[in-house]
Every structure is written in C-alpha cells, then in structure tokens.
Amino acid sequence: MEDSVAITRIEQLSPFPFDLVKAETEKYPNADLVWCQEEHKNQGYYDYVKPRMRTTIDRAKPVWYAGREPAAAPATGNKNTHLLELKRFLDTAFNLDAFKDHV
C-alpha cells in the first residue's frame, strides 16, 4: 500500500509540533487524516491531538480515529479478544474507504 498510504509518526506531542504537522499534511492535500493508536480511545492521545491537528489544517477536514474502543482497563485480559481488537484496529487503519461515508 506504499502508493496509497503515508504514515507519519509524531515523536513529541508537547509542545505540539504545529509546523512539522502542517508540512506533512501539505505533502498529501487529498489524503484523509487518521490518528492511529493501539491504546484504547480514552487512554491515548487522540482527544489531545485532534483539535491541534485540525488547527494545523485550518479545520478543512476531519481527523479520524483508528484504534481500540474506549475501555476501563488497558488490557482485555483475554488473548483472543486482544487479537480481535488488534485485527479490527489494523483493518480500519488500512481500509482506504473506512471513513468515506462519515463526512
């Protein structure tokens, strides 16, 4: 999927690197922006990063989320459930049409 997916890693979240994120998003003006994290939605940085990324792009488009659903515990405690969550997360992250109908 090298011709369809670009992955950018943000190493430092605070202070937020607005200039670097802006430079990366300008390389791919037609791309969907998706924040991917292995942590559950309520345990990672999505809620911190989303408004900052939207500020960077002048709120021109949404910043989607691909990751685990919110949960009280950081781990499921069950290997099969963990693997199912991981598969669902990766399938969403690399599905080019995952957010097409959500606009």
Structure confidence by residue, pLDDT tens digits, 55-93: 999 999 999 999 999 999 998 899 999 999 999 999 999
Phi, psi of 86 (to 5 degrees): -65, -45
Please state the pTM of the whole predicted model.
0.87
pLDDT at position 103 is 64
| CA 77 from centroid of its chain's CA atoms | 24
Cβ contacts of 17 within 8 Å, gap of 6 or more: 10
State the number of CA atoms in the 13 A half-sphere of 58 facing the CB. Answer: 2
β-sheet bridge partners, residue 67: 37
